[in-house]
Amino acid sequence: MVYVSSFTQAEYNCATIIVSVAKHPAIANKFIYFDLRYNPRQWFGVNPEKEAVGQASVPALTNQL
């Protein structure tokens, strides 16, 4: 699993995902942008009570790079 270290809302209904993955250095610490008009919960287990920290599969993230 890929763990999202932070989730911040930005302008134009976009979000920045900072990914930290020890076993996948090609993905780690890259910024991933996606349109929030698509439910981010389909990729990330968003928990609004915990600052939207979640997780997603590697393929789901690499498709966003």
- Pick from 2, 1, 3, 5: nearest CA to 16: 5
pLDDT digit string, tens, across residues 37-62: 444 444 444 443 433 334 444 444 44
Range of the domain at 48: 2-62
Q: What is the pTM of this model?
A: 0.16
For residue 26, the model assigns a pLDDT of: 52
| Alpha-carbon distance values, 20 to 1, 12, 13, 29, 63 (Å) | 11, 25, 23, 5, 16
Number of domains within the chain: 1
For residue 41, the model assigns a pLDDT of: 46
